[in-house]
Amino acid sequence: DQQVKQNSPSLSVQEGRISILNCDYTNSMFDYFLWYKKYPAEGPTFLISISSIKDKNEDGRFTVFLNKSAKHLSLHIVPSQPGDSAVYFCAAYNSGTYKYIFGTGTRLKVLA
């Protein structure tokens, strides 16, 4: 029972264009959502987050959108840079259980 899904295993984008990574969840009890970036042979690093009471959060080139009715969130990276090439994980947090559930990840490749 995959509670958090990232249906696109990979994505290729030209440098300077927008990258859009998507994530769907099934559990309405999640109240906080996060995006992590992971390079090979390293641990995931935090990128951006959003509370369930908001629908948008922006930090520089990164924006996360949350659509609670659709149980969908997305990460927009504008403009994309070659250094953004990594695996991106979305995660959902349930403050009632203290659990963070991660998606399967999307490998982003930004082409120079």
Site residues (CB under 8 A) for other proteins?
A: 6, 9, 32, 34, 36, 41-46, 49, 89, 91, 93, 95, 98-105
Strand-pairing partners, residue 60, are none
Q: How far is the CB of 14 from other proteins (least distance, A)?
A: 26
Kindly tell me the number of DSSP H helices and DSSP E strands found in the chain: 0, 11
For other proteins, the closer CB: 65 or 100: 100
Structure-token pair, residue 47: 């990128």
Is the peptide bond prior to 79 cis by the omega test (within 30 degrees of 0)? yes
Q: How far is the CB of 31 from other proteins (least distance, A)?
A: 9
